[in-house]
Amino acid sequence: MQHANSNGAAGAAKDGAKDTGAVQEFVTVFVGETMFGLAINRVHDVFIPTGITPVPLAPPEIVGLLNLRGRVVTAICLRRRLGMGAAAQAAAGATGQATGMAIGLEQGGETFGLVVDGVGEVLKLGAETHEAVPINLDARWRDLALGVHRLDGRLLVILDVDGLLAFGSDRASTKAA
Amino acid sequence: MDDLLREFLTESSEHLDTVDTELVRFEQDPNNETILRNIFRLVHTIKGTCGFLGLPRLEALAHAAETLMGRFRDGLPVSGASVSLILATLDRLKAILADLEIAGTEPAGSDSDLIEALEHMASAEAPAAAPLVAPPPPPPLPAIVERELKPGEVSLADLEAAFLAAPGPDEEPEPAPLPAPAHVAQPAPAPAAVAPPPAPAPAPVAKKAEAPAAQAATQPSGQASEGEGPAKVQTIRVNVDTLEHLMTMVSELVLTRNQLLEIARRHEDSSYKVPLQRLSHVTAELQEGVMKTRMQPIGNAWQKLPRVVRDLSAELGKQIELVMVGAETELDRQVLDVIKDPLTHMVRNSADHGLEATSVRVAAGKPARGTIRLSAYHEGGTITIEIADDGKGLDLAAIRRKAVERGLVSQAEVEKMTDAQVAKFIFDAGFSTAAAVTSVSGRGVGMDVVKTNIETIGGVIDINTQAGRGTTFTIKIPLTLAIVAALIVRAGESRFALPQVAVLELVRVDRSAAQKIERINGAPVLRLRERLLPIVTLTGLLGQDGGEAEVQSGFVVVAQVGRQRFGILVDEVFHTEEIVVKPMSTKLRHLSLFAGNTILGDGAVVLIIDPNGVARQVSQSAQAGQIPVEAEAEEAEIGEARTTLLVFKGGNGAFKAVPLSLVTRLEEIDASKVEWLGGRPLIQYRGRLMPLVVADEAIQIRSEGTQALVVFSDGDRAMGLVVDQIVDIVDERLDIEIAAERSDLIGSAVLRGRATDIINIAHFLPLAYDDWARGPRKTAAAKARTLLLVDDSAFFRDMLTPVLKAAGFSVVAASGAEQALAILSGETRIDVVVADLEMPGKGGFDLVAEMRRAGGALASLPVVALAGTVGPEMVERARRLAISDLVAKFDRSGLVAALAEIETPGLAKAA
């Protein structure tokens, strides 16, 4: 099931769990150049999304439905969910999100696939690199981020999985307004 | 203890439901000992368990009811009042049980009112039943029971002991089953049972402990003496969630299997074909088995109805008889849950609105007792439920008036509407024509809810009403919600599944062809049989049309939802497939156009279109003035219904047709899959071998490309009819014009202006399976008479109906002996009966025997019996019952010939 696990050891070795205290593992994903982290205990799967059936009239975040080993998975585009790079999106737009990777998440008995541009390593991070979400961040990001980790040369934004999946017809309409 | 209590709760509520029903039967038939004994035993069991679990309130109440019933058993006359009292007691028991279920303990409160009434009735009427008993003892009874002994079980236990010890006058003598107290054992003769009152006074409280033990002892003997009860089936209780989970897993397995088969098709390597075949087989069987566990007889939903009708009958002062046919018809419990309340509501409606007051009925020359008939039967993949009353029929004039008043339609429009269209207004919210609002109905709430409920499970409801003759509601619902037959179509880039229940027919449209789409102010319409059908494009509905709406060619799926009929334009139609319905993601549930999604055999996810959602969209845009909605204008004539026919090309480009209801599936197979075995073509189909038969000798089974097949199946057997091309599905009145001289054809009819041969499936089945029938004989015509066809298999009914119609009969079909008898005793005049001898439950012979016993016209009514095999013993039995002729089941010409020989009722015996 958890393909991501194989990367776990490498990630841990590289980063080193030097400090005691709460060490958490995160699966890193990329949208464009930005790196995000997802709590590993929420990640069930990493897969390449294929054969996505688009759902007409669906909220823009939803790419479509796909069949993952006999289960119907609702594919959500992280880029669109975060309102990132609409221009870049338009360029890649017509072909849809067939390329890239997807992270399998579960909530309330349903399976969702979070479509991202790429998946990186699993990182073990302690509290010492953790920072609160900067207050000047875009409101949508502030709602979805749990915090930021300072890594060598780059930042890792930790995303709230439940927050990511908390949208729907009601939220969609408020956003539109 | 908790488990024990839970078990007790489930069991008791089931028992109480049964008692409800049985009591109503008992009231009508007070001399039926079996029913009484059943009721008695059930209440007794409840009481016994209550004592064991320490539930004094329940026990006391059950006991008091039991005592009164004991009196009935001893010959006390059964009055409506006493049954009402017992029913009231049962309601109280249910209420206590419900509280018990929530709180885990018996609620506080007193039942002395009921207990007193019960005992009063039991003792007050005692002298009438047994005048030998000295009257003095009764007075102290209520006083002692109510005031001194708290719940009253001591005295009652003794009452019961006395009753058990003394067999009733009409019972076989059985040994006294318990070491009864001496004073009870002594007066063994019948009067003893009504003489217990002396007992309570001396009974010490210590006896209380004895009572449950005594009951435990009596129970087995009570059951043993009851020999004719239903045979015990070994069962275990399984949590519904477990079954649901199992079902989900099986659905997954089916999907995986389908995917594997798809992969295997693409690979040449045959090494894993055999195990795969096996897997496929096992999966199919597993699926069937699990489906079966979810099935429940529809009778479970009807259980409360006799009681409801009885109460209504008392409340409204009408005499009402409830006839239930086909209670054993099974359907998915999920579906059952949804239709339970609508059914109850409709029966109440029939009793209140449908049936006239007794005086009115008598004045109209009808039997004083009104009848509500509830019947259920399977028909293809759906179950049909009918609720019919023989009341006054809907007041269509009033509905017309009301519809205009409420601004639903204009006066001009309403005058153009057919009766059937008008009748459907009663499904509009808040619509009621009842002059007076009664406590039962008339508030105009309900029928719209009924309709909504039925539509949520993909069902349809229809009304047929005749002034002065009654109203019939017909509900068609799918057997299960988990798996539905769907048409797979393509619109734009994507495929979609359209549930077949809503699909009436398919029409191919082309710019150059006769069928083309025209536009009125931009709104697309199609001329379909001299009427305009509004068209919506699926891509348009789904917002995929970039404004460019140049419709050129494709297929119009003609769909009907409620009163609306409309066409959905799609680009391509693939095939029908049984799909496993998966619920829509919570994120997408607000999209009313989709009912769910499914995974097809090739692994792709497709969305299931919800016809109701489409209908709403269509009417919304219609209100905006875009599309002229054509409300259905069906023929309201009763009798000749329309028949849906599948039209195909077979042999030299000739058009042929077969009733669609006979068809199980349409398939396009890879021609290379056809195998030849002993000179006969076969294919491997759903894990079995299926023989192929050509629809016409001129057809060559193709050796490459794809081959179109029409699959017929009955039970385990399936046959593939090889045709050149599947053309169309049409819905027309089947007027067979020429009775053909060929055994493979029933006759010809004009469908869509084309002469089309209607093929006779009976000719082809024996070609596939030798033992399915025998050869045909000459056809002979007969005069227009009404024929009652009785056969338990819908397949045979469908098959024979066109044959018999072609022979000039007007056909009424019945699915079993019970239904047949009901029809025979009804108002339709039946001239001749054709009955299958082998039917589950009551067979054909039993049916005929009952007809002969009934006397009157039925005694001499000619009967032609259909038999699988005809032996000398059968012939002899048939002769004794004055059965006119015995015909082998597939011998359609033999049947027609036999019918032709029966000239008039009365001369029948000559044959």
pLDDT at residue B545, rounded to an integer: 63
Domains of chain A, first to last = 5-168 (2.40.50.180)
Residues A56, B255: C-beta atoms closer than 8 Å: no
CB contact under 8 A, B585 and A74: yes
Whether the complex's predicted ipTM is more than 0.90 is answered with: no
Q: What are the chain B neighbours of A67 within 8 Å (beta carbons)?
A: 599, 603-605
Q: Give the distance from residue A57's alpha carbon to the nearest chain B alpha carbon, in angstroms.
A: 6
Q: Name chain A contacts of B588, Cβ cutoff 8 Å.
A: 55, 58, 62, 74
Put simply, whether B616 touches A (Cβ < 8 Å) is no
Q: Which one is predicted more confidently, B686 or B547?
A: B686
Q: Classify residue B564 by its DSSP letter.
A: E
* This model's pTM is above 0.90: no
Closest CB to A66 among B256, B494, B605: B605
Question: Tokens 């010809």 correspond to what residue?
Answer: B748
Interface test with B, best of A52, A57, A164 (most B CBs within 10 A): A57
Report, as an integer, the average pLDDT of B400-410: 81
Q: Does B537 touch chain A (CB under 8 A)?
A: no
Q: Is B263 on the interface with A (CB under 8 A)?
A: no
Give residue for tokens 């799609």: B570
Compute the distance between CA of residue B54 and CA of residue B208 in angstroms, rounded to an integer: 12
Which of B593, B603, B607 is nearest residue A67 as measured by Cβ atoms? B603
**List of chain A residues whose C-beta atoms are within 8 Å of the C-beta of residue B603:** 51, 67
pLDDT above 70: residue B212: no
Compare all CA atoms of chain A with the CA of B592 and give the residue at the minimum distance: A57
Exposure of B885 in the CB half-sphere (CA atoms within 13 A): 20
For B594-625, write each residue's pLDDT tens digit: 888 888 877 789 999 988 888 877 776 544 43
Q: What is the mean pLDDT of residues B274-297?
A: 82
Q: Which of A65, A167, A169 sits opposite B605 (nearest CB)?
A: A65
> What pLDDT is recorded for position B453?
80
Mutate which: A47, A50, A52, A53, vs B, most B CBs within 10 A: A53
- pLDDT of B381 reads 60
Interface check for B494 against chain A (CB to CB < 8 A): the answer is yes
Tell me the mean pLDDT in the region B502-517.
Answer: 79
C-alpha torsion angle, residues B360, B366, B370, B371 (rounded to 10): -150
Q: Using CA atoms of B267, B273, B275, B278 in order, give the dihedral in degrees to the nearest 10.
A: 120
* Cα–Cα distance for residue pair B649/B724, rounded to 1 Å: 5
Confidence check: pLDDT of B160 > 90: no
Tell me if B851 sits within 8 A of B824, measured CB to CB. Answer: yes
Mean pLDDT of B878-886: 81
Nearest by CB to A67, from B493, B542, B604: name it: B604
- What is the per-residue pLDDT across B688-716, written as a single tens digit (0 to 9) for each? 788 888 887 777 777 777 888 888 876 56
Is B262 an 8 Å CB contact of chain A?
no
Q: CB-based contacts of A55: which residues, under 8 Å, 6+ apart?
A: A62, A64, A65, B588, B591, B594, B607
pLDDT band, very low/low/confident/very high, at B194 (cuts 50, 70, 90): very low
pLDDT digits (tens, 9 = 90+) for B809-842: 788 888 888 888 888 887 777 888 888 887 777 7
| pLDDT tens by residue, B566-604 | 899 898 888 887 777 777 888 887 888 888 888 887 778
Query: Is A98 at the interface with chain B, CB within 8 A?
Result: no
Cβ density class B218-235: b for 16+ within 10 Å, e for less? bbeebeeeeeeeeeeeee
Domains in chain B, please, with CATH? 2-224 (1.20.120.160), 240-294 (1.10.287.560), 299-478 (3.30.565.10), 483-631 (2.40.50.180), 642-772 (2.40.50.180), 785-910 (3.40.50.2300)
Measured distance CA(B623)–CA(B751) in Å, rounded? 34
Give residue-wise pLDDT tens across range B414-462.
887 778 778 888 887 666 655 544 444 444 446 777 887 887 777 788 8
pLDDT tops 60 at residue B856? yes
pLDDT digits (tens, 9 = 90+) for A68-88: 877 889 999 999 888 876 544
Partner B contacted by A16 (CB < 8 A): no
CA distance B544 to chain A (A): 7
Q: Is A168 exposed, middle or buried (0-12, 13-18, 19+ CB in 10 A)?
A: middle
- Considering chain B, what is the average pLDDT of its residues? 73
Determine, for residues B606 and A53 on separate chains, whether the beta-carbon distance falls below 8 Å.
yes
B367-381, B644-658, B765-779, B788-802: least confident range: B765-779
Residue B890 — very low, low, confident or very high, per pLDDT cuts 50/70/90?
low
**How much is the pLDDT for A21?**
57
Q: Residue B652, class by beta-carbon neighbours within 10 Å (0-12 exposed, 13-18 middle, 19+ buried)?
A: exposed
So what's the pLDDT on residue B642?
Answer: 60
pLDDT at B225: 39
Q: Quick check: B605 and A167 CB within 8 A?
A: no
Percent of chain B having pLDDT more than 70? 75
Q: Give mean pLDDT, residues B67-92.
A: 78
A123-132, B158-167, B470-479: least confidently modelled range: B158-167
Local confidence band at A112 (pLDDT 50, 70, 90 cut-offs) = very high
pLDDT over 80 at B326, yes or no: yes
